[in-house]
Amino acid sequence: MSKSNTAQPAICTRGVTRDFPAGQDTITVLHGIDLDVKAGELTYLVGESGSGKTTLISIMCGILWPTEGEVQVFGTDIYHLSDTELVNFRLENIGFIFQQYNLIPAIDAASNAAVPLIAQGMPRHEARERSIEMFDKLNILDQADKLPNQLSGGQQQRVAIARALVHEPRLVVCDEPTAALDASSGRRVMDLLRDVAVAEDRACIIVTHDNRIFDLADRILVLEDGRITHDGTQMPEDH
């Protein structure tokens, strides 16, 4: 995989901290994170449970306010936007893949994947057609008309990937995309994600502690107690 030569990083965090109230006190979950995530790379964020991975990725994709620090996504200072501007920024620029898929049970797979386009205001049928094109790319065309509960976990996660990519966002974020899947479907989902989500002008960042898929990463960041302790193409030896 060629390294991106764009000057501007996809995500740039400077001095990001995040506190949470814990009873009387506050706990600091992130301690001044300075990070550049490049486009064209599959970036993993790994670390032990409670190390702050979800908190960091939530801040990077504009759904959780940092206590301090700046976050730029493709040059936009996202936490300086108004609430509505931020929501619309996410709608245009970010694709989400959740551990629990969060598909809408009452509408078929293709319509589920079309949701970001529908939310952008595209007519439903047109959006669904675009979503079916994405299904074709993901080799799940035969599942377009099925309801989520007629699909296996791996198949649902593919639909969720289609939903994350259908509107061609510049940043794709995934929190534990394979945690609910068995080893082989997890691996297949990640292979697929690698194929479709990584592109010259797109950044893809994945939170995981699934060591079965570490070999697929271009870059691995390790978070320990709210600090980045490792940044490289491989996992550090001691993990």
Partner 1 sequence: MIWIAIRMLTGDRQKFYGLLFGIAFSTLLITQQLTIFVNLIERGASGVYNVSSADVWVMDPVSRTTDVAYAMPSTALDKVRGVKGVEWAVPHLRANASVRTKDGDLEGVAVIGVDDATLIGLPKSMVEGSTDVLSQPDAVIIDDVGTTRMFPGESPIGERLELNDQRAVVRGIADAIPSFTSTVVLYTKYSQALRYVPGTRNRLSFVLVGAADGVEAKSLSDSIEEQTGLKAQTRDEFARDGVQFIIENTGIPLNFGITVLLGFIVGVAIVGLTFSLFIRDNIKQFGALKAIGVTNGKIARMVAAQAAMVGLIGYGLGVLGTVGFIYGFSNNPTFKGFYIPWQIPLISFAAMVLIIALTGWIALRGVMKTEPAAVFR
Ligand X SMILES: Nc1ncnc2c1ncn2[C@@H]1O[C@H](COP(=O)(O)OP(=O)(O)OP(=O)(O)O)[C@@H](O)[C@H]1O
Residues at the site binding ligand X, with contacts judged by CB under 6 A = 20, 29, 47, 49-55
Residue 210: CB minimum distance to partner 1, A: 16
Q: Does 27 bind partner 1 (CB under 8 A)?
A: no
Nearer to Mg ion, 99 or 143 (CB): 99
The CA distances from residue 47 to 19, 112, 176, 182, 235, in Å, are: 19, 31, 12, 20, 11
Residue from 44, 74, 96, 135 binding partner 1 (CB under 8 A): 96
Bridge partners (DSSP) listed for residue 44: 206, 220
Please state, as a whole number, how many other Cβ atoms lie within 10 Å of the Cβ of residue 199. 15
Nearer to ligand X, 49 or 233 (CB): 49
Nearer to ligand X, 170 or 239 (CB): 239
Residue 33: CB minimum distance to partner 1, A: 16
Show the binding pattern over residues 209-238: x = contacts partner 1 (CB under 8 A), - = does not. Answer: ------------------------------
Residue 157: CB minimum distance to ligand X, A: 17
> In this structure, what DSSP letter does residue 238 have?
T
Q: How far apart are CA 97 and CA 184, in angstroms?
A: 19
The candidate with the shortest Cα–Cα distance to 74, out of 56, 54, 92, 97, is 92
Stretch that binds Mg ion, among 12-20, 48-56, 92-100, 191-199 (CB under 5 A): 48-56
Show the binding pattern over residues 146-175: x = contacts partner 1 (CB under 8 A), - = does not. Answer: -----------------x-----------x
Residue from 94, 134, 161, 221 binding partner 1 (CB under 8 A): 94
User: Side chain identity at 205, as an amino acid letter?
Assistant: I
Establish how many alpha carbons lie within 13 A of residue 111's alpha carbon, considering only the half-sphere containing its beta carbon.
Answer: 12
DSSP codes joined into one string, 141-172 = GGGTTS-GGGS-HHHHHHHHHHHHHTT--SEE
Q: What is the dihedral of CA 129, 188, 193, 231, to 10 degrees?
A: 170
81 binds, among ligand X, Mg ion, partner 1, none (CB under 5 to 8 A by kind): none
Q: How far apart are CA 119 and CA 126, in angstroms?
A: 13
User: Side chain identity at 24, as an amino acid letter?
Assistant: Q
Q: Does 185 bind Mg ion (CB under 5 A)?
A: no
Residue from 17, 19, 28, 54 binding partner 1 (CB under 8 A): 54
Which residues of the chain form contacts with partner 1 (CB under 8 A)?
54, 57-58, 63-64, 84, 87-92, 94, 96, 98-100, 102-107, 111, 115-116, 118-119, 124, 163, 175
